[in-house]
Amino acid sequence: DGGITQSPKYLFRKEGQNVTLSCEQNLNHDAMYWYRQDPGQGLRLIYYSQIVNDFQKGDIAEGYSVSREKKESFPLTVTSAQKNPTAFYLCASSIQQGRGNQPQHFGDGTRLSIL
Amino acid sequence: AQSVTQLDSHVSVSEGTPVLLRCNYSSSYSPSLFWYVQHPNKGLQLLLKYTSAATLVKGINGFEAEFKKSETSFHLTKPSAHMSDAAEYFCVVSERGGYQKVTFGIGTKLQVIP
């Protein structure tokens, strides 16, 4: 079955450490997204990518970085500059940006906590 | 600019009674509207979508929603709640055009009482 796989499911970060969250999709989707979810705040967009080797900042990109070297992969790095990284991180994909009637498909998330 | 407002942060219903989750939106263009469901520690699953076809949209698990342009609303309903419906529900608006701007509501937690 096609879908989005996020790993790991739980992740712990030490002070001053960078950590990378994995997101892989086999839906052949062009666009991929990273969201951060905090209680009572809904989903906030961190980064998105429309095609390979291209990505744009979302609403809360500070302290995060991404790469898009392959169509199926969109890893997110939470850097030490992100002072409040504890959250639930969701990766999503869609057929194509620019077609507003296309829904996004979500992975099962990674829960990041500070040690 | 677009926005979405979920009017209730928590809704509690008894099993077997109707469910109503309210969503109002604003959009400068013809919007697409979606409802997603999220169970604890899981991703979001698409329940249904409105994309300018029929205004009454049927989704999975017996849910449906009606697009009312005059009221800028897209409320989610289900005739009879099941225990398995207990989850968080998100209303989402997306503008069509050259750039797909997607805005999520803050969510409504549905509690189903046995």
In the prediction, which pLDDT does B31 show? 85
pLDDT for A98 beyond 70 = no
The pairing of strands A87-94 and A105-106 is antiparallel
- Tokens representing residue A77 in the block: 């790095």
Average pLDDT, integer, range A33-51: 92
Residue B45 pLDDT exceeds 80? yes
pLDDT of residue A15: 83
Question: Which is more confidently placed, B94 or B61?
Answer: B61
CA–CA distance from B61 to each of A54, B54, B64, B74 (Å)?
A: 37, 19, 9, 18
Per-residue pLDDT, averaged over A24-35, amounts to: 95
Judge: B95–A90 Cβ closer than 8 Å, yes or no: no
Distance from CA of A65 to the nearest CA of B (A): 21
Beta-carbon contacts of residue A62 (< 8 Å; ≥ 6 apart): A81, A82
> What are the counts of helices (DSSP H) followed by strands (DSSP E) for chain A?
0, 11
Please determine, for residue B99, whether its predicted confidence score (pLDDT) is greater than 60: no
Q: Which of A9, A41, A106 sits opposite B106 (nearest CB)?
A: A41
> Are B100 and A102 in contact (CB < 8 Å)?
yes
Which residue, among A24, A16, A6, A35, has the nearest Cα to A79 in the 3D structure? A16
Per residue in B2-21, pLDDT tens?
A: 899 999 999 999 999 999 99
Collect all residues with Cβ–Cβ distance below 8 Å to A1 and sequence separation of at least 6: none
A40/B9 touch (CB, cutoff 8 Å), yes or no: yes
Closest by CA position to B89, among listed B2, B13, B1: B13
**C-beta atoms of A90 and B98 within 8 A:** no
- B49-89 pLDDT, tens per residue? 998 778 899 999 999 999 999 999 999 999 999 999 999 99
Please tell me the predicted confidence (pLDDT) of residue A103.
Answer: 87
Name the residue with higher pLDDT: B21 or A2.
Answer: B21
Name the percent of chain A lying above pLDDT 90: 75
Assess whether pLDDT exceeds 60 at residue B98: no
Mutation choice for A interface testing from B27, B102, B108 by most A CBs within 10 A? B102
Q: What part of A 32-71 touches B (C-beta under 8 Å)?
A: 40-43, 45
Task: Locate the chain A residue with the closest alpha carbon to B98.
Answer: A98
pLDDT of A26:
96
What per-residue confidence (pLDDT) applies to A66? 98
CA distance B1 to A98: 16
Q: What is the pLDDT of residue B96?
A: 65
Residue B29 scores a pLDDT above 90: no
In chain A, % of residues over pLDDT 70: 96
